[in-house]
Amino acid sequence: MSIVDKIKWSPIDSDQYVREETSKTTIYIHHTAGSADPYGVLRWWNETPERVATSFVIGGKPTRSNHKWTDGELVQAFSSKYWAYHLGLKQSNLPPGSLGSKELNAQAIGIEICNWGYLTYKDGQFYTYVNSIIPADEVITLDKPYKGYEHWHKYTDAQLQVCKELVVYMANKYNIPTCYKGDQMFELDMRAFEGEPGIWTHTSVRTDKTDCSPQSAFVKMLKDIGGTK
């Protein structure tokens, strides 16, 4: 099945994104810091006044038998030719030499992976920041702490496979370079602020964000897509 055939179209309200066609030069990968439900992400966006959203959301592993989505379910909220303010950048905080906030958002295709992010270990359990418990087999412990945390909610194999296929498809569609940017992309990276074409994460432009974490499988996915310089 092609990646296009895997997409579940579930449009958010038209006032939740900017219906302006823009040239695309970058892809930004996020994680939601939330539950596995991709449709819950869309509902949340519709309930907020801000036009903060991404074109695509990738669902996680269902935690109950009555959940109606599958691990790696790919949901599209609006056409990739449009855009929304998914980077959360303030013009006043951009470094010298940066493109403007609007331009950085408008030229980017956003992808959200449903994932809780960093975890805290206590009393033999792994807890999210809202004190829900993550099973040990869904946890990855990094070789060295990232953003002050060792333990992270693992991106599932299904999520990474779908993300890989989607990034390749979008990169080919919009002629976006895919070469891995190096580990610096998980910290503030001036190349991202300058609008260098390619694949980035939210952490490339925000010190206060933890998406995405440099899990080995995630990094391998990026390297498999475009190799390294």
20 lies in the same domain as 90:
yes
The pLDDT tens digits of the residues spanning 66-112 come to: 888 999 999 999 999 999 999 999 988 899 999 999 999 999 999 99
For residue 35, give every residue at least 6 positions away whose Cβ sits within 8 Å of its Cβ, in sequence order, or none.
60, 63, 114, 116
Tens digit of each residue's pLDDT, the chain (229 residues):
899 999 999 999 999 999 999 999 999 999 999 999 999 999 999 999 999 999 999 999 998 888 889 999 999 999 999 999 999 999 888 999 999 999 999 999 999 999 999 999 999 999 999 999 999 999 999 999 999 999 999 999 999 999 999 999 999 999 999 999 999 999 999 999 999 999 999 999 999 999 999 999 999 999 999 877 6
Q: Which residue has the tokens 């060295």?
A: 144
Q: Which residue has the tokens 């109606």?
A: 68
9 lies in the same domain as 60:
yes
CATH code at position 17: 3.40.80.10
The residue range of the domain holding 132 is 118-152
100 lies in the same domain as 126:
no
Q: In the chain, what percentage of residues exceed pLDDT 90?
A: 93
Torsion sign across C-alpha atoms 74, 68, 10, 200? negative
Q: What is the pTM of this model?
A: 0.97
User: What is the CB neighbour count within 10 angstroms for residue 71?
Assistant: 16
